[in-house]
A and B are shown apart, each in its own frame.
Chain A
Amino acid sequence: MVQTLKQYPDESINVNAGPIRSFGESYQQMVEDLIDTMKAHTLDALSAIQIGYPYQLMVIRENSTYIAYANPRIITQSDAFDSIERSHYFHNQPITVKRYKTLSLVYENKKGEMKTKIIDNKEEAALFQRKLDYLFNTTLIDRLLPQQREQAVKALAGKGHMPDISDAFCPPESKKVYFVSVADKLLFFMFLSLFLPLFPLSKETLSGWYTYDKFAFPAILFLMMGFFFYAQHEAKKYKQCSSCQIGNNIGVMVKRSVAALAFAIGAYFLVNPY
């Protein structure tokens, strides 16, 4: 019987499918439903979870034959490549993910017998991996990096375009944050120094802190310059990087530079013992 195909954003597809335990009548019926649904929608492959059966079963059409793969596993994989794929679940939107061309897999046939198979064809291998992903609670966009995934979700909502996997995204841990981190620590102690006159400290102590302020102020300005130039370097390196935009970088730099200037003026009038 033709079953309803699940489509994004239906999240009921997000379950770990359970193993096929018996190959009796209900199993055969499930296979028939998959095949009927594939024929009705002209699909090359379908995972059971795509029509709501939470079992580790997929059917792939090979020429005019429909082959059922129960409890499939990829044992070895090699030759990675970028695969542009479309899935009915994602309304046939093209999404680029990393796949492997050569697979060695095991599965059980319709009699429950363990079988092995080698796939050494990009198209066939990508199709198998995509259907297997569904059985392990993984859809196409789950294979994307976090920033790419966010962009894909927006694109599926009709806001923007799908990400290209070849685009270099912001690094998760940019080295430019080190500049900001050191500057923030220097600023923190400059800020604290403004309260020192409230305490009965000696002239020498205040003098020492004022010396700190005099060094910290230019150091922060240099750090912010270093931050800006390094951030610009990263912005050229990574095409898709919202935090690399020049406006953001100027904002970070100006905010800290102004704070440093304010603290330096405050220190001149409040901390300066001379």
Chain B
Amino acid sequence: MARLVVMGGGVSGHTAATFAKDWLGDEHEVVVVTPNSQWNWIPSNIWVGVGQMTKEEVVFPLAPVYEKAGIDYRQAKAVSIHPEGKDDSDTPYITIEYTGAGKEGQTEEITYDYLINATGPKLNFGATPGLDEGHTVSVCTADHAVHANLELKKIFEKAKTEKQKILVGTGHGMCTCQGAAFEYIFNIEHEANKAGVRDNLEIKWISNESFLGDFGMGGLHMKVGGYVVSSKLFAESLFAERNVPWIIGAHVNKVEEGKAHYELLDGTTGEEAFDFAMLIPPFAGVGFKAYDKAGEDITSKIFAPNGFMKVDADYSGKPYEEWKASDWPRTYQNPDYKNMFACGIAFAPPHLISKPMSSPNGTPINPTPPRTGMPAGIIGKAVAHSVCDMIKEGENAHLHEASMAEMGAACVASAGKGAFDGTAAAMTVYPVVPDFEKYPGTGRDTDYTFGEIGLAGHWIKHILHHMFIYKAKLKPGWTLIPE
């Protein structure tokens, strides 16, 4: 009997663990180590953040689902990886520290034959001074979103009698997930209209994108009212229509009570006052340590400086003009330890997707590569497939591939919730990572890099919400639902 340990129970880790258990059956063991007791459908957190959904609608307890699937679930955080074992044993293991189930603080070693790192990111609020001091809110977790909604409701209440300022966007020059902030600002605007307080709210966008509509992907086409336009024009029109001014190319470098300081791509600096701010933090690796058999620290061998795990990518650090689609990983296998994989946000990307840019002061200001949502699920499933084949056929089994440079992705960004007055932008990108050799110029197939905004988009987002929660609960037919 082989043991597969999956660190992390988010979109990618949950997909990997559940498919692996389904394919391996009772002959082999699957262990999931995650500090969370609940699974969270993160794309709907923005609706919790405006009070249009409750926390209970976007989360469910993991324990009964894993019990039903026959997965050994440990509510704990992984602390260190020992891929060579220790003095008296060659069996690799990880150390964990329990965070729940009455075992809080207890530590344990779990041996493994195969390891999948799917921990997701550490929300690196500390990267921006003041961002972790409670001056702003976030919607990155369900609890954060609940808190954001409480604070937002106070602002709406005040806005009945006095002007209030709302600032939404990215809290650092190297953030990803502009889409979540984009959704949140337009849902706030939508709710403010419904609450009759829009006239007393000054809502402003701040982002590290070098142009509106970049979405961290370098832009795309949108279909609006029968016409095809660029995402830049679409976004500029949408912001203007909703009376939301914007600050772009911005690195928020300090947050104080009611004030955000920033530097722009043109080198100028500024500050923006706010009564309520939702600023997305940058992501970092969760901060594992790794040790060899002798107990020597090999963290830098396994992890990139940003804390994400190295896989089969080209990390040579070559200049922008030499970046290729083939730099991106295909199998997500660690180059030094063949029984270790990383998927979702946990793998280290070889470089950015958007064009790297920095201010005249040398401050890098550009979106970092998105690896959430659909790509995270697809990669998690491919990695699970590889591990299952290695367990069943031996370590030389053919590995499954899911390169982001050959993968399309779909995204639905809500701009307001409502069965009849909701809107959302549905977007597809192919490939996620531009391939400038295959598609000279844009790096993408323009026929499949497309978006459309409307009420139907909102319905699709709502349907996806129920469909993916259904799938994650392993209800009948769950394996048939795509990632």
- CB within 8 Å of B: which residues of A? 14-19, 21-22, 53-55, 71, 73-76, 104-106, 114, 116, 133, 136-138, 142-143, 146, 149
Contacts and interface: CB of A to CB of B under 8 A. Distances in A.
Contacts of A138: 229-230, 232-233
B455 to A, nearest CB: 14
Given A14-B228, A116-B266, A137-B221, 5 more contacts: A15-B446, A16-B218, A76-B247, A114-B360, A116-B267
B266 A105 contact: yes
B321 A16 contact: no
Contacts of B228: 14, 137
Contacts, number: 85
Interface residues of B, number: 35
Nearest to A56: B355
Nearest to A115: B360
A266 to B, nearest CB: 32
Nearest to B354: A19
A16 B220 contact: yes
Interface of B: 210-211, 218-221, 225, 227-230, 232-233, 247-249, 264-268, 320-321, 323, 355, 357-358, 360, 434, 436, 440-443, 446
A146 B225 contact: yes
Contacts of A74: 211
A138 B322 CA distance: 29
A136 B357 contact: no
A54 B441 CA distance: 5
Contacts of A19: 218, 355
**Lowest 9 A-B CB distances belong to which pairs?**
A54-B441, A22-B321, A18-B441, A137-B230, A18-B442, A136-B230, A136-B232, A21-B321, A19-B355
B442 A15 contact: yes
17 contacts: A15-B446, A16-B230, A18-B436, A55-B441, A71-B355, A75-B266, A105-B266, A106-B210, A116-B267, A136-B230, A137-B229, A138-B230, A138-B232, A138-B233, A142-B227, A142-B233, A149-B227
Given A15-B446, A54-B441, A114-B360, A21 B320 contact: yes
B265 A15 contact: no
Nearest to A55: B441
Contact of A75 (B221, B229, B264, B441): B264
Nearest to A15: B446
A18 B440 contact: yes
A95 to B, nearest CB: 15
Does more than half of chain B's interface fall in helix, strand or loop, or is it mixed? loop
Given A75-B265, A136-B211, A116 B360 contact: yes
A104 B264 CA distance: 10
Nearest to B434: A18
Contact of B221 (A16, A21, A55, A104): A16
A73 B440 CA distance: 21
A116 B323 CA distance: 25
Contacts of A114: 357-358, 360
Contacts of A149: 227
B266 A18 contact: no
A76 B264 contact: yes
Nearest to B321: A22
A12 B104 CA distance: 62
Nearest to B250: A75
Contacts of B218: 16, 19
B219 A16 contact: yes
Nearest to B220: A16
Contacts of A15: 441-442, 446
Contacts of B358: 114
A15 B450 CA distance: 12
Given A18-B436, A55-B441, A71-B355, A76 B266 contact: yes
A104 B229 contact: no
Contacts of A104: 264, 266, 268
